[in-house]
């Protein structure tokens, strides 16, 4: 059953901001007072207190009556004599699964938040606790020093790597911590990965556009240290013989994820000698930016140009016309992830990688240009 849509809690946003500062070891002995935190974060004291209580349940902070909150520095994971590592536990005794993300909740896609919240709920039903940590990663090699600090201060029975750079994934593979990738693994990384099959989505999109008479197609790819972009580019390279055989040209434009970067890519495509009749965009937010820039330039979608997105976010269904896109029910996806993750925590059994093929939702941004050719 699809998850109910809900707004991101302000308490969760504040808790994420505090986790980020704790991971950076910003406060050595005690946190600022609740009034000061509320003023800094521009929220109410009640919101700060609820966020601190959430971190307290996670075992990240503690407080004594009449004192300020202080960070909890878990001891390093120890080894029993002749035995394996003792798994990480929270303050209440529950085993901890730690998730690393490159973005705080306020900057994550809605679908990513839904997946995280559903994973937290399923782990709680299994007696496990999910802790989230923000680790900024702006380049393929970034995250090393901050990651070492995080591992030194965090005990976890298993790790989930969401939107992590190659350096972070490679570090977990090298130190042999129990971990899996939520998303695509970088080339050469042997960690188990649970991902939506973007390559399959791209191949289906190319075939669908071909059947609808499109022969000049553009693909917008964000410049990113994460593996999903590489996966899409590799799938396009594999499709090259088929594209040549069917007379299809694909113009690739890399862009910064900011709205201005998408606008520059759109402007470049529209100024080219051979203008595309369809554009495939990888990320939902970038697809929304592309729609805005096309509208500002007087390009009608889908009458003049078709638009397809390889990912989904719930708000895309509210657009008019609704965007043609590839969707995966977060609840179904997380069930595929949660079972092997729970086994990894309790028995150390390494899961196999899983690729879930998303469902194509036609929407209203896909236009039939002419009769399909005999190919």
Identify whether residues 95 and 133 lie together within a single domain: yes
Closest-CA residue to 211 (of 374, 353, 72)? 374
Q: Point out the domain boundary residue: 296, 311, 327.
A: 327
CA distances from 239 to 53, 75, 203, 216, 234 (A): 52, 51, 7, 15, 9
Q: Phi and psi at residue 2, in whole multiples of 5°? A: -60, 145
- What single DSSP character describes residue 300? -
Q: Assess contact for 71 and 103: CB atoms under 8 A.
A: no
Mean per-residue pLDDT, 192-209: 96
Identify whether residues 125 and 215 lie together within a single domain: no
Least confident span in 37-46, 234-243, 255-264: 37-46
Q: Assess contact for 360 and 326: CB atoms under 8 A.
A: yes
Of the pLDDT bands very low, low, confident and very high (cuts 50, 70, 90), residue 81 is very low
**Residue 220, beta-bridge partner list:** 253, 281
Please check whether residue 210 lies inside any domain of the structure: yes
Identify whether residues 143 and 223 lie together within a single domain: no
Rounded to two decimals, the pTM is 0.75
Which value, in Å, is the radius of gyration of the alpha carbons in the chain?
23
Identify whether residues 175 and 246 lie together within a single domain: no
Task: Give the model's pLDDT for residue 14.
Answer: 85
Identify whether residues 283 and 134 lie together within a single domain: no
How much of the chain exceeds pLDDT 70, in percent? Answer: 88
- DSSP characters for 80-117? -TTS-BPPPB-TTS-EEEEEEESS-GGGS-HHHHHHHH
- DSSP characters for 276-297? -SEEEESSHHHHHHHHHHHHHT
Q: Point out the domain boundary residue: 146, 176, 191.
A: 191
User: d(Cα 231, Cα 220) in Å, to the nearest integer?
Assistant: 13
User: d(Cα 354, Cα 194) in Å, to the nearest integer?
Assistant: 5
User: d(Cα 225, Cα 169) in Å, to the nearest integer?
Assistant: 11
Task: Determine the 3-state secondary structure of 264 from DSSP.
Answer: helix
- What single DSSP character describes residue 172? H
* CATH for 15: 3.40.50
Please check whether residue 247 lies inside any domain of the structure: yes
Task: Determine the 3-state secondary structure of 75 from DSSP.
Answer: coil
Please state whether the peptide bond connecting residue 80 to the residue before it is cis, i.e. omega within 30 degrees of 0.
no
Identify whether residues 312 and 214 lie together within a single domain: yes
Please check whether residue 145 lies inside any domain of the structure: yes
Identify whether residues 158 and 224 lie together within a single domain: no
Task: Determine the 3-state secondary structure of 186 from DSSP.
Answer: coil
Provide the domain count of the chain. 2
Please check whether residue 370 lies inside any domain of the structure: no
Residue 332, pLDDT > 50, answer yes
Q: Assess contact for 99 and 133: CB atoms under 8 A.
A: yes
Q: Assess contact for 347 and 20: CB atoms under 8 A.
A: no
Q: What is the mean pLDDT of the chain?
A: 85
pLDDT per residue as tens digits for the range 351-363:
999 999 999 999 9
Please check whether residue 129 lies inside any domain of the structure: yes
Identify whether residues 22 and 37 lie together within a single domain: yes
User: d(Cα 29, Cα 25) in Å, to the nearest integer?
Assistant: 10
Identify whether residues 259 and 311 lie together within a single domain: yes
Mean per-residue pLDDT, 286-290: 94
Please check whether residue 106 lies inside any domain of the structure: yes
Q: Point out the domain boundary residue: 191, 222, 237.
A: 191
Please check whether residue 150 lies inside any domain of the structure: yes
Identify whether residues 164 and 240 lie together within a single domain: no
Mean per-residue pLDDT, 55-63: 83
Task: Give the model's pLDDT for residue 93.
Answer: 52
Please check whether residue 3 lies inside any domain of the structure: no
Identify whether residues 152 and 225 lie together within a single domain: no
Task: Give the model's pLDDT for residue 136.
Answer: 77
pLDDT per residue as tens digits for the range 246-271:
999 999 999 987 899 999 999 999 99
Identify whether residues 135 and 248 lie together within a single domain: no
Of the pLDDT bands very low, low, confident and very high (cuts 50, 70, 90), residue 134 is confident
Task: Give the model's pLDDT for residue 27.
Answer: 82
Task: Give the range of the structural domain holding residue 211, as residue numbers without chain letter.
Answer: 198-327
């Amino acid at each position: 059953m699809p998850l109910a849509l809900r707004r991101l809690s302000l308490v969760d946003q504040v808790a994420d901001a505090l986790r980020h500062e704790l991971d950076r070891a910003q406060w050595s002995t005690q946190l600022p007072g609740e009034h000061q935190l509320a003023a800094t974060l521009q929220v109410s004291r009640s919101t700060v207190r609820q966020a601190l209580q959430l971190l307290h349940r996670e075992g990240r902070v503690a407080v004594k009556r009449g004192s300020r909150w202080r960070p909890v520095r878990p001891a390093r994971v120890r080894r029993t004599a002749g035995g394996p590592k003792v798994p990480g536990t929270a303050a209440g005794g529950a085993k901890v699964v730690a998730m690393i993300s490159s973005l705080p909740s306020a900057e994550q896609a809605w679908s990513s938040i839904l997946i995280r919240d559903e994973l937290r709920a399923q782990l709680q039903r299994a007696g496990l606790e999910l802790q989230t940590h923000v680790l900024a990663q702006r380049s393929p090699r970034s995250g090393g020093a901050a990651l070492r600090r995080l591992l030194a201060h965090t005990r976890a029975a298993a790790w989930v790597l969401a939107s992590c750079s190659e350096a972070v994934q490679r570090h977990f593979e090298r130190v042999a911590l129990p971990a899996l990738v939520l998303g695509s693994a970088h080339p050469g990384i042997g960690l188990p990965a649970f991902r939506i099959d973007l390559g399959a989505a791209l191949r289906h999109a190319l075939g669908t556009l071909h059947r609808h008479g499109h022969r000049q197609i553009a693909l917008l790819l964000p410049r990113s240290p994460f593996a999903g972009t590489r996966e899409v580019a590799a799938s396009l390279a594999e499709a090259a013989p088929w594209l040549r055989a069917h007379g299809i040209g694909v113009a690739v434009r890399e862009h910064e994820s900011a709205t201005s970067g998408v606008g520059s890519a759109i402007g470049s495509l529209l100024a080219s000698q051979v203008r595309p009749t369809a554009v495939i965009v990888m990320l939902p937010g970038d697809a929304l930016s592309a729609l805005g820039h096309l509208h500002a330039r007087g390009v009608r979608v889908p009458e003049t140009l078709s638009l397809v997105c390889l990912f989904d976010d719930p708000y895309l269904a509210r657009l008019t016309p609704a965007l043609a896109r590839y969707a995966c029910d977060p609840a179904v996806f997380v069930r595929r992830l949660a079972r092997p993750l729970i086994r990894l925590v309790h028995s150390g059994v390494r899961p196999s990688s899983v690729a879930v093929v998303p469902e194509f939702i036609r929407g209203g941004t896909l236009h039939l240009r002419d009769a399909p050719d005999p190919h």
